[in-house]
Structure 1
Amino acid sequence: MKNRITDLLGVKYPIVQAPMGWIARAQLASAVSNAGGLGIIETSSGRLDEVREEVKKMKTLTDKPWGINVAQAFVRDPDIVSFVADQGVKFVTTSAGDPNRYCEALKSKGLTVFHVVPNLAAAEKAIAAGVDGLVVEGGEGGGFKNGRDVATMVLLPLVCSRTDLPVIAAGGITDGRSMAAAFALGAEGVQMGTRMVSAAESPVHQNWKDMIVNARETDTVFLNRHGPGPALRALRTEKTTRFELEPPTNIMAEMANALDLYFGGDMEAAIALTGQVAGRIDSVKPVAEIIRETVEEFEAVMTRLGRQYGKVAEPA
């Protein structure tokens, strides 16, 4: 599989792991890179001292390409550009902020820069800022969202119709069929978040993985649509079901005990950021198996569609 995304990232498969706070660290990211995709180390936890240690681990766990995400709303280090450039990575995604803030500085260090966008206006702003590509993220994805969410099925072809830059699709991607759909809509790569949260190498507590596996397609909630603060898509629990109707005054304060949920398994301690695609995940699998099955199914779907709907030769 070879296209602009694989060339830019230096990977075998155009499959990227989402940069989830506290989760997208060396254990998970190295497994993704070793399986032929691109692992990404997060900064959205805001704990750059811990991230530095994870970067050191990453270098001992894989010799394959990997990247770093700069989550602008959560990074307070004025030297973040130098920090990222010093790690030897070639690819960085920026998110949760103005693409103009770091794009030029990162590119001046020789880095390939993609910006995460939730709508067309944000995509156009990122393009004007000079990014090398876009991560186009539909509202069905888990995590921090734009309050005016747009589904991947609408957003992805819209953005792709307005730019020739390479696009990675995010939101609702979990297997080869959804990857093939994203490619049909104009993407050249995909990003997986919830599928990787549920992976065997994911560091989160088994309780979270079990809830993903047992979730229905309706078992996520969209929180804090009208602010203040970010909107969120999260797994449905007693807490988040209550918040759906009665938003807390400060949604981010509800993440104060996130580690008790993430690694302690108390699913009511905070908010489990999870995408709608949880409803399609039915088992915990190793990362290598997830990527292998995704690629095999993608190729099978594309072959079948080509045979079924490809141009039929006219009779002589």
Structure 2
Amino acid sequence: MRTRITQMLGIEKPIIQAAMGWIARSPLSSAVSNAGGMGIIETSSGELDAVRDEIVKMRALTSRPFGVNVAQAFVRDPSIVQFVIDQGVRFVTTSAGDPMKYTAMLKAAGLTVFHVVPNLAGALRAVEAGVDGLIVEGGEGGGFKNPRDVSTMVLVPQVVAAVDVPVVAAGGIVDGRSMAAAFALGAEGILMGTRMLTATECPVHNNWKRAIIAADTTDTVFLNRAGPGPALRALRTERTTRIEREGAPDGIFAEFANTQAVYFGGDLEAGVALTGQVAGRIESVKPIAEIFDETMREYAEVVAGLPQ
């Protein structure tokens, strides 16, 4: 498939992997790149020494393109820009902050820059900042969200109609059918997060993978809509149901103090497991290459079968 996304990024399949904190590292991201998509290394953990090591590992694990995400809300040191440039990375996604802050510096160094946006105003500001593309993220996706969430179905065509840069659809994308829907809305690429959590190569604990497979589409919860701090979508557990009802007594970020125990220890009540609504459509653990091949095949079948 050829779209502006595949041509711009030098990838075979217009699929980008979400930059999930602590999770989006070389085992997962290299598998994504090797399968023809765009693997992304995270920085939202704030562990830049570990990130540097992961980039080194990526070069040993794949000869294909990969990128780095700069999560501005979590990595506030301006040296992050020079850090990314020094690693020889050619593609960057920026998120959770003002695109005016780093875009010019990154582009001046020759990098391709996409910014993650939750609404039209954010998209227009990112284009004004000079980004090469947008990741347009609907509220059904997992992770940190704008408290005034808009669904992918509404947001993507609104942004596509207002900008000239290519758009990647995120939130609710899990297979070829949802990819076909995103392309019908005007997207030229897709981003997957929750589907990547259940990939064979993803390092998270099997308890989380099994919980996703067992989940219904109603088994996530949108938290902290009233603030302070960002809102987020997570797997529904006893803990997150209590936060939904009573709020987070020590602030929403305090709920991530035991992230390692949740993500890699499998104790889903120790914190918050960021998960999108598409958990209800995921039925099994599969290798990345198989997920991508099935997605592309189903996309072609769906498009060919649409009424004329």
Matches within 5 A, 1:110-121: 110-121=110-121
Partner of 1:252: 253
Equivalent residue, structure 2, for 1:5: 5
Q: Could you tell which deviates more after superposition, 40-49 or 70-79?
A: 70-79
Which position in structure 2 is the counterpart of 1:232? 232
Residues of 1 paired with 2:77 and 2:61: CA distance? Answer: 26
Question: Deviations along 1:50-98, whole A, 9 cap, x unmatched?
Answer: 1111111111100000000000011133321111112222211000000
1:39 aligns with 2:34: no
- Which consecutive residues of structure 2, in runs of 5 or more, have no partner in the other structure? none
* 1:100-127 Cα distance to aligned partner (Å, 9 max, x none): 0000000001001010000011111111
Is 1:263 equivalent to 2:264 in the alignment? yes
Q: In terms of mean alpha carbon deviation, does 87-96 or 275-284 score higher?
A: 87-96
Match of 2:86 in 1: 86
| Moved >4 Å (runs of 4+) | none
Partner of 2:174: 174
The match for 2:194 is 194
Alignment of 1:70-109 (within 5 A): 70-109=70-109
SS at match of 1:272: coil
| More divergent stretch after superposition (248-257 vs 72-81) | 72-81
Q: Partner of 1:139 in structure 2?
A: 139
Moved more, 143-152 or 68-77: 68-77
Match of 1:314 in 2: none
The SS at the match of 2:68 is strand
1:222 paired to 2:222: yes
- Percent identical among aligned pairs is 69
**SS in structure 1 of the partner of residue 154 of structure 2:** helix
Checking the alignment, whether the CA contact within 8 Å between 2:52 and 2:87 is kept in structure 1 is no
CA deviations 1:116-145 (Å, max 9, x no partner) are 000011111111111111000000000000
Aligned to 1:8, the other structure's residue is in SS state helix
1:313 corresponds to which residue?
A: none
Structure 2 length as normaliser, TM-score?
0.99
The residue identity in structure 2 corresponding to 1:87 is Q
Q: 1:68 & 1:127 partners in 2: Cα distance?
A: 20
In structure 2, give the amino acid aligned to 1:254: E
Report the residue type matching 2:261 in the other structure.
D
Look up the match of 1:284: 285
- Give the structure with higher Rg (CA): 1
Alignment partners' CA distance in 2, 1:286 and 1:113: 28
Provide the TM-score with structure 1 as the length reference: 0.96
User: What does the per-residue CA deviation read over 1:280-306, in whole Å, with 9 as the maximum and x for residues that have no partner?
Assistant: 00101000000010011111111222x
Q: Partners of 1:87 and 1:177 in 2: how far apart?
A: 36
Letter aligned with residue 117 of structure 1? V
Distance 2:284 2:25 in 1: 22
Please give the alpha-carbon distance, in whole angstroms, between the structure 2 residues aligned to 1:141 and 1:120. 17
- In structure 2, the residue matched to 1:301 is 302
**CA RMSD, aligned part only?**
0.7
